[in-house]
Amino acid sequence: MDAIGIASLVIAGCGYTAAALFLLGLLFVDVTETGWRIRAPWR
């Protein structure tokens, strides 16, 4: 595989990782008018 193919795979992998972390963050954090509030589902 050439360098362009490897670079595109790395960029795509970083994008998917960032999207997954963003979706996980939405599950655990509520955005309120006063700012960020951590929502712990185990409580």
What is the pLDDT confidence band of residue 1, given thresholds at 50, 70 and 90?
A: low
pLDDT digits (tens, 9 = 90+) for 5-35: 888 888 888 888 888 888 877 777 766 666 6
What pTM, to 2 d.p., does this model score?
0.42
Ordered DSSP codes for 13-29: HHHHHHHHHHHHHHHHE
Residue 18, domain member (yes or no) = yes
In a domain, 16, yes or no: yes
Contact 41, 24 (CB under 8 A): no
Residue 33 maps to a domain: yes
Residue 9: inside a domain: yes
User: 43 lies in a domain?
Assistant: no
Please tell me the predicted confidence (pLDDT) of residue 18: 85
Whether 34 maps to a domain, the answer reads: yes
Q: Residue 36 pLDDT > 70, yes or no?
A: no
* pLDDT on residue 23: 82
Domain count, the chain: 1
Domain residues for the domain of 22 are 3-38
